[in-house]
Amino acid sequence: MEHKQREYLFDNYKVFLIILVVIGHFIEPCYDQNPFLYELKWGIVAFHMPAFIFISGYFSKKVPSVRKLLSGLVIPYFVYEVVYYLLYTFILDKETELYFARPKFSLWYLMALCVWRLMAPVVKKIPHYLPCSLAAGLLIGLVGIGNFLSIPRIVFFFPFFLAGTVFDSAWLARFRNGKGYVCALGIIGSMVLFLFTDRYHRQLPVKIFYGRYSYEELGMSAAEGILIRLVCYGISFLLIYLFMLVLPTKEKFYSYLGERTMAVYIFHGIIYSCLKYGSSVLGTVESNGESILLILFCFIIVWIVSRKPFVQVTNKIAHLV
């Protein structure tokens, strides 16, 4: 019975997003060397993490227990921080230290998820908490505090998590029809066309969607930064909902991967770090043919690190307590 009640829309959505996460990371060293990868990078960062965080919020409607937070997020965070430290120091010979207050690579998400789950029940008692969280996300860009405790990202992405906690998938019913599907595809297609033809966004750093950098670090004035970040919020929220209307709601052959995204998230980062700091291969991708091969390689990585041995490791680490 529990199997039949599973919401496969979100499994399928998570599969789509984790593939984008892997591609987004692996093209990081070379996306500005190929026009297609450049626009692909923009398209990915515009919504992949906001959507992931939104879905995390959707499945965090209940107040979590302290033990669940410790076992599922806090302990894994410290374990993986040590793993990355050992990898960087003794294998990749990369100068680093054991900065538990400054998450390495993608581990900021574990820290942020813990904070969001703790803070959401409290923040939701504040009147108009969603507009307030958006205002905080805009204002945090005025402060340059670096990556300390991932505070800028935690504040910037918090509105997506909060929106997920109040979202009801039943709201999609009236739009999930032939007309809604075509309309959503049309809007997505128009946004893709705009992305490949617009020149203004090419004058901006793609990091405007990262949430990590202050407006000053991005070379923007306070007014310009706030306005652009507000537009970024709008684009991200729009894409989150549009893809909900076009992705399949029924179980597919790949749906099971939606339950294994944590393993992919953790282990693809280790492989990426080895390639980035242990060789120069990712930075040499320039042609369309090489770009396609790199993207295919990303699909292979997703398949490999979603196998049971990797899933079992992440599950054991998540249940040490």
Residue 1 has pLDDT above 50, yes or no: no
Model confidence over 186-220: pLDDT tens digits? Answer: 999 999 999 999 999 999 999 999 999 999 999 99
Q: What does the pLDDT read at residue 2?
A: 43
Model confidence over 64-79: pLDDT tens digits? Answer: 888 888 889 999 999 9
Q: Distance between CA 84 and CA 97 in Å, rounded?
A: 10
Q: What is the mean pLDDT of residues 87-98?
A: 89
Please check whether residue 153 is in contact with residue 211, taking contact to mean a CB–CB distance below 8 angstroms. yes
pTM recorded for the entire structure: 0.95
| Segments in 124-221 forming alpha helices (H) | 129-139, 151-166, 178-197
Q: What is the mean pLDDT of residues 84-95?
A: 91
Please check whether residue 164 is in contact with residue 158, taking contact to mean a CB–CB distance below 8 angstroms. no
Q: What is the mean pLDDT of residues 105-110?
A: 93
Q: What is the mean pLDDT of residues 142-155?
A: 91
Q: Distance between CA 321 and CA 319 in Å, rounded?
A: 5
Q: Is 189 helix (H, G, I), strand (E, B) or coil?
A: helix
Q: What is the mean pLDDT of residues 43-57?
A: 96
Model confidence over 223-241: pLDDT tens digits? Answer: 999 999 999 999 999 999 9
Model confidence over 158-189: pLDDT tens digits? Answer: 999 999 999 998 888 888 888 999 999 999 99
Q: What does the pLDDT read at residue 123?
A: 96
**Rounded alpha-carbon distances, angstroms, from residue 66 to 51, 73, 121:** 25, 10, 14
